[in-house]
Amino acid sequence: MGKRIHNFNAGPAALPLSVLDEIQEELLDFKGSGMSILEVSHRSKWFDDVMNEAVERTKRLLNLGNGYRVLFVQGGASLQFCMIPMNLSLGGRPVDYINTGTWSTKAIKEAKVQGKDVREIASSEDRNFSYIPKDFQVDGDAAYLHFTSNNTIKGTQWAQFPDSGDIPLICDMSSDIMSHSFDVSPFGLIYAGAQKNIGPSGTAIVIIRKDMLERVPENLPAMLKYTTFAEKDSMFNTPACFVIYTISLVLKWLEETVGGLETMERINREKGAVIYDFIDQSDFYTGTADKDSRSLMNVTFRLPDEMLEKKFVEETLKEGMGGLKGHRSVGGCRASIYNATSIDAVKALVEFMGEFQRKQG
């Protein structure tokens, strides 16, 4: 096997090595079927078990109880941007959004395209999305309040979720789902593209509170209705079988190897502290997000100039570290330290950052 690198990609991103080993081990003969998981029918008992396991582990890890359904919908988080207003808005009532960066902006645009009464009740655009807004009022009349829990491009994350009273929260958790424990009860719907923190690309996980399903209009195309996916247990058409299989293994790793979300959160806080403490004592690296809004998943930082940033990224690759270039829309550098990125990888990066600073500083 070739040498594996420390993977800091933002998505598709690092998967636990033990999960990749398990996939490799089962790839040619899944559970004695004589077929690969890539070949078995989605209508077979083998895949039924995979789907049920992914759903049950999600429910246990997030303490969902019976009030929620776990669905798998293709089209990534981007399709959810339009499905949410299409399915969950209510006639004559506004839909509220908080804008904290690129993905929120896209979600807002998709609701406006449909002619919904969209209100942007808070935004951090005034300072280039470098912080999470705190001062806003949630109108009791809104059909829902939508926000993005972690902003991969800008490196910000909600430390406390917004208090929306009785208004259902809708959240894009693409990049920090399963990274910490939280109370799900205020949420009407949580969605996440799988490819950052829980699996490969190709599906979104959608966790929907059952009362929200009552809002879904009859006159929508079948593939754009949450009720279609709920009534058919995500099997209305062929789901992304291999992706769901991988997700079920990642969730097993989270539950059985890591020991649940409280432990995962502690590890993630430790990883974040290692890199942020180093950046804070450096006069060479500068974090781009306000300290109280910093992401534990995507650490964004700048060097003194763009030439040095280019050199930094090139040299990290030579040292066996990948994915450290910032998003093309903002430049700079970014270390995505999702669940599967180990503390050893973070320590190796910080050690390299110290060396690089000594040579260039």
- As annotated, the active-site residues are 103, 172, 196
Burial group, residue 339, by CB count within 10 angstroms (0-12, 13-18, 19+) = buried
Give the span between the Cα atoms of 311 and 313, in whole angstroms.
6
CB atoms within 10 A of CB 278: 19
Q: Provide DSSP, 147-182.
A: EESEETTTTEE-SS----TTSPEEEE-TTTTTSS--
C-alpha distance from residue 41 to each of 32, 38, 89, 314 (Å)? 14, 9, 36, 44
**C-alpha span between 318 and 314 (Å, rounded):** 7
Q: What is the CA radius of gyration of the chain?
A: 21
Q: 356 and 312 in contact (C-beta within 8 Å)?
A: yes
How many Cβ atoms from other residues are within 10 Å of residue 117's Cβ?
A: 14
- CA 303, CA 325: separation in Å to the nearest integer? 12
Token representation of residue 24 = 């490799």
